[in-house]
């Protein structure tokens, strides 16, 4: 899979996991019923294998694909995109997740996937899940149907609906470091595994900028006021469909007031302490976030910025 | 209105319109029915006046507020946040927008509002509109009700629903410049007023990073491949509920292949041509985007970067 609209000669760029998808999303095929049908009929067309929402890996640890005819005739198809001349689909199986916390067994599969594979999986997982939870029109309550190769759902006017068109949802989330006197703030959510600390995070709300959301979250969750909010990198996070935006910020006063519903523990960590955790040293003060989480890239970025 | 969790001593920061809201969003009040009720009962509690989804301005050109008792008893209330000790609400009136293109008369009101006022209005408009279009559960089709002071809607299990909780939606949108040989790419959407050119833009899709979305949009809409995608600033855009993320990028080949459904005309403009348009000169080649659009800030940023 070699298509990419982005020229990757920028050696300083951070490409977090899930952010490396290289299928041509082929929006001009999605919206054209004739071209979409033609893509489905192509003998090379292939189907991403999923186990519910989880990936199926082949013996090489890559995403497993089958022929398109393996899809159930009852399910709509999602056009993931084109791999050269090969149309790549996933099946809208109705699999949805009740929670945003994925199956712990999934983490191991994810750590085996290459960046472009993880990007394809992220797209498929978010969309299969979105369709499963959007069978009805939020505007009028009538049934919706998949349209545009799975990139929208329509409420059907001919069947008494209001005709509204609904698009897949992507929720922007800020994930951030605050720096104070050479140390950074990390915290634990109650659901984290033991000893894991990571960057604080929260959804951007309507009427907020990314920078405003970073400042609000740090105020709400940790009671600190920050300045110099800086964007670092972003990552799609398909649990179920977030866009993680990693930022740094600064403060002068390290006094913490925690919102213990959201953050059960938080502390300021020095460069040496962060390096020890990122290196997985046995006496490290905490366990760092896993490599496929953008918090990991953010900590690496911060270490580099310190000349560490 | 002076509360702000962000310290604003960063003189280089770009604060686009709508991004300057300074109400304390008071999430701990939203989620606590007792504290929420107490806020509603406070004699100082006030109600943002809206005309449908449009702002009502007082004689000073500020947002107009009334006492909370002016709200219809039939409507739920949205807690916009706290202005010091004053709880600020809007009324979930059922006003919704059929299109994402606002009433042209609205633009003049918007250009009169201060940044914090525009931020409050953006929050209110996005949420009132979201509630109007989410009266039904997308998962099961049953009726939903407002919860958490208007910051979520719940499908009611006791009335036969599935119990799903739905949160207000915010759609991340990339808006971007591409630079080639000292010129930048700007384009016209078919719905733009005559002579208006602006930065190209598009929604970030599930499974995409911001940087990936920028590259895909420029490829789809203009047929160019870019590198060095850089984030510049963000802005909430309440038509109906986008998060605009302004970026720059670079390319070596200025050859354009337009998607004429999305972009009816596009061209490369020099620094002098952009400055003339931003200054509103009568012989400028195009009309620049208005000051409350982040595309305006993005062009200003680019001019400054050129030392212009």
Say yes or no: A275 and A147 in one domain: no
At A308 the pLDDT is 54
Residue in the block written with tokens 């212009």: B308
Does the pLDDT value for residue B224 go beyond 90? Answer: yes
| CA gap B207, A94 in Å, rounded | 19
| CA gap A88, B66 in Å, rounded | 56
Say yes or no: A128 and A69 in one domain: yes
Radius of gyration of chain A (CA): 21
The structure tokens listed for A113 are 């996937």
pLDDT digits (tens, 9 = 90+) for B125-151: 999 999 999 999 999 999 999 999 999
Q: Touching check for A238 and chain B: CB below 8 Å? A: yes
Q: Cβ–Cβ of B206/A168 closer than 8 Å?
A: yes
Q: Touching check for B133 and chain A: CB below 8 Å? A: yes
Say yes or no: B156 and B248 in one domain: no
Q: Cβ–Cβ of A5/B216 closer than 8 Å?
A: yes
Say yes or no: A177 and A296 in one domain: yes
- Cis bond upstream, residue B240 (ω within 30): yes
Closest CA to A242 of A173, A151, A168, A166: A173
Given B118, B153, B168, the domain boundary residue is B168
Q: Cβ–Cβ of A207/B18 closer than 8 Å?
A: yes
Nearest 10 degrees: Cα torsion A154, B102, B79, A261:
50
Say yes or no: A157 and A246 in one domain: no
- Phi, psi torsion values for B179, nearest 5 degrees: -115, 135
- CATH classification at residue A259: 3.90.79.10
Q: Count up the domains in chain A and report the number.
A: 3
Given A85, A110, A133, the domain boundary residue is A133
At A81 the pLDDT is 96
Say yes or no: A105 and A178 in one domain: no
Q: Touching check for B145 and chain A: CB below 8 Å? A: no
Q: Touching check for A95 and chain B: CB below 8 Å? A: no
Q: Of the candidates B134, B171, B235, which has its C-beta nearest A138's C-beta?
A: B134
| CA gap A121, B39 in Å, rounded | 45
**Torsional sign, CA B95, B99, B103, B109:** positive
Q: Touching check for B234 and chain A: CB below 8 Å? A: yes
At A111 the pLDDT is 82
Say yes or no: A125 and A176 in one domain: no
Q: Cβ–Cβ of A6/B227 closer than 8 Å?
A: yes
Q: Touching check for B163 and chain A: CB below 8 Å? A: no
Q: Cβ–Cβ of A226/B7 closer than 8 Å?
A: yes
| CA gap A307, A179 in Å, rounded | 15
Say yes or no: B161 and B96 in one domain: no
| CA gap B273, B261 in Å, rounded | 26
Min CA distance, A307 vs chain B (Å)? Answer: 22
What is the pTM for the complete model shown?
0.94
| CA gap A122, A116 in Å, rounded | 10
Please tell me whether residue B22 adopts helix, strand or coil conformation: coil
Q: DSSP secondary structure string, B254-292?
A: ------TTT-SEEEEE-HHHHHHHHTT-TT-SSBPPPTT
Which residue range is the domain that position B127 belongs to?
A: 1-132
Residue in the block written with tokens 């004053």: B86
Q: Of the candidates A126, A141, A164, which has its C-beta nearest B141's C-beta?
A: A141
**C-alpha distances out from residue B276 to B47, B71, B285, Å:** 43, 47, 8
Min CA distance, B282 vs chain A (Å)? Answer: 34
| CA gap B233, A231 in Å, rounded | 8
User: Is there a contact between B88 and B25 (Cβ–Cβ < 8 Å)?
Assistant: no
Q: Which residues fall within 8 angstroms of residue A49, CB to CB, at 6 or more apart?
A: A55, A56, A63, A64, A65, A66
DSSP A74: T
Say yes or no: A199 and A146 in one domain: no
Say yes or no: A7 and A118 in one domain: yes
Closest chain B residue to A13 measured between Cα atoms? Answer: B228
pLDDT digits (tens, 9 = 90+) for B228-258: 999 999 999 999 999 999 999 999 999 999 9
Q: Touching check for B231 and chain A: CB below 8 Å? A: yes
Say yes or no: A216 and A164 in one domain: no
Q: Touching check for B260 and chain A: CB below 8 Å? A: no
Angular region, B304: left φ>0, alpha ψ -120 to 50, beta rest: alpha
| CA gap A229, A217 in Å, rounded | 12
Q: Touching check for A28 and chain B: CB below 8 Å? A: yes
At B2 the pLDDT is 44
CB atoms within 10 A of CB A145: 13
Cα-Cα end-to-end distance for chain A: 35
Substitution target from B63, B88, B209, B297 for chain A, most A beta carbons within 10 A: B209
The residue that leads in pLDDT, B121 or B112, is B121
Closest CA to A177 of A99, A251, A234: A251
Closest chain A residue to B131 measured between Cα atoms? Answer: A139
Residue ranges in chain B assigned as alpha helix (H): 27-30, 33-41, 106-112, 115-132, 210-222, 271-278, 294-305
Taking one residue from A and the other from B, the number of pairs with CB-CB distance under 8 angstroms is 229
Q: Of the candidates B7, B170, B215, which has its C-beta nearest A227's C-beta?
A: B7
Tens place of pLDDT per residue across chain A (308 aa): 345 666 554 545 677 878 877 799 999 999 999 999 999 999 999 999 999 999 999 999 899 999 999 999 999 999 999 999 999 999 999 998 866 666 777 888 888 888 789 999 999 999 999 999 999 999 999 999 999 999 999 999 998 999 999 999 999 999 999 999 999 999 999 989 899 999 999 999 999 999 999 999 999 999 999 999 999 999 999 999 999 999 999 999 999 999 988 999 999 999 999 999 999 999 999 999 988 899 999 999 999 999 85
Strands B86-92 and B144-147: unpaired
Closest chain B residue to A152 measured between Cα atoms? Answer: B205
Closest chain B residue to A14 measured between Cα atoms? Answer: B211
Q: DSSP secondary structure string, A199-211?
A: -EEEEPPTT--HH
At A9 the pLDDT is 45
Q: Touching check for B247 and chain A: CB below 8 Å? A: no
Given A85, A106, A133, the domain boundary residue is A133
In chain B, residues 100-129 whose CB comes closer than 8 Å to chain A = 119-120, 122-124, 126-127
Closest chain B residue to A214 measured between Cα atoms? Answer: B6
Q: Cβ–Cβ of A205/B25 closer than 8 Å?
A: yes
DSSP A174: E
User: Is there a contact between B116 and B6 (Cβ–Cβ < 8 Å)?
Assistant: no
In chain B, residues 30-89 whose CB comes closer than 8 Å to chain A = none
Strand partners, B179: B184, B250
| CA gap B235, B171 in Å, rounded | 12
| CA gap B50, A229 in Å, rounded | 32
Closest CA to A133 of A168, A180, A184: A168
Does the pLDDT value for residue B305 go beyond 70? Answer: yes
At A3 the pLDDT is 53
Q: Tell me what percent of the residues of chain B surpass a pLDDT of 90.
A: 81
User: Is there a contact between B153 and B131 (Cβ–Cβ < 8 Å)?
Assistant: yes
| CA gap A45, B66 in Å, rounded | 61
The residue that leads in pLDDT, B46 or B97, is B46
Does the pLDDT value for residue B168 go beyond 50? Answer: yes
Edge-to-edge strand list for the sheet holding A152-155 = A144-147, A152-155, A165-166
Q: Of the candidates A134, A227, A236, which has its C-beta nearest B138's C-beta?
A: A134
Say yes or no: B52 and B111 in one domain: yes
Q: Of the candidates A19, A204, A235, which has its C-beta nearest B243's C-beta?
A: A204
B163 vs A contacts (CB less than 8 Å): none
Please tell me whether residue A81 adopts helix, strand or coil conformation: strand
Q: Cβ–Cβ of B137/A138 closer than 8 Å?
A: yes
Strands B46-48 and B50-51: unpaired
C-beta contacts of A253-258 below 8 A and 24+ residues apart: A253/A180, A253/A224, A253/A225, A254/A180, A254/A181, A254/A183, A254/A224, A255/A223, A255/A224, A256/A185, A256/A222, A256/A223, A256/A224, A257/A222, A257/A223, A258/A187, A258/A221, A258/A222, A258/A223
Q: Of the candidates A15, A205, A212, which has its C-beta nearest B19's C-beta?
A: A212
A151 vs B contacts (CB less than 8 Å): 205
Burial zone of A154 (CB within 10 Å; 0-12 exposed, 13-18 middle, 19+ buried) = middle
pLDDT digits (tens, 9 = 90+) for B30-61: 999 999 999 999 999 999 999 999 999 999 98
- Cis bond upstream, residue A240 (ω within 30): yes
Instruction: Give B289's Cβ-side CA count (13 Å radius).
Output: 21
């Amino acid at each position: 899979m070699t298509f990419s609209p982005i020229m990757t000669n920028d050696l300083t760029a951070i490409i977090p996991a899930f952010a490396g998808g290289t299928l041509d999303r082929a929006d001009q095929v999605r919206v054209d019923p004739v071209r979409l049908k033609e893509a489905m009929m192509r003998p090379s067309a292939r189907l991403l294998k999923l186990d519910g929402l989880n990936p199926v890996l082949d013996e090489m640890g890559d995403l497993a694909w089958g022929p398109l005819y393996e899809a159930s005739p009852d399910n709509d198809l999602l056009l993931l995109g084109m791999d050269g001349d090969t149309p790549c689909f996933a099946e809208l199986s109705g699999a949805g997740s009740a929670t945003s916390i994925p199956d712990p067994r999934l983490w191991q599969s994810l750590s085996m996937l290459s960046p472009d594979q993880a990007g394809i999986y992220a797209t498929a997982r978010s969309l299969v899940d979105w369709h499963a939870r959007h069978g009805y029109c939020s505007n009028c309550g009538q049934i919706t149907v998949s349209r545009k190769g799975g990139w929208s759902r329509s409420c059907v006017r001919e069947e008494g609906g209001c005709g509204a068109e609904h698009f897949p949802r992507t929720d922007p989330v800020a994930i951030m470091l605050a720096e104070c006197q050479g140390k950074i703030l990390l915290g634990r959510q109650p659901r984290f595994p033991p000893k894991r600390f990571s960057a604080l995070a929260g959804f951007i709300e309507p009427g907020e900028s990314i920078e405003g959301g970073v400042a609000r979250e740090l105020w709400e969750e940790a009671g600190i006021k920050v300045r110099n909010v800086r964007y670092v990198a972003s990552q799609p996070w398909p649990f179920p469909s977030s866009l993680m935006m990693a930022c740094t910020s600064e403060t002068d006063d390290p006094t913490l007031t925690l919102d213990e519903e959201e953050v059960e523990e938080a502390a300021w960590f020095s460069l040496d302490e962060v390096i020890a955790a990122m290196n997985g040293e046995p006496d490290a003060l905490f366990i760092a976030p896993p490599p496929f989480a953008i918090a990991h890239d953010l900590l690496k970025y911060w270490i580099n910025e310190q000349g560490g």
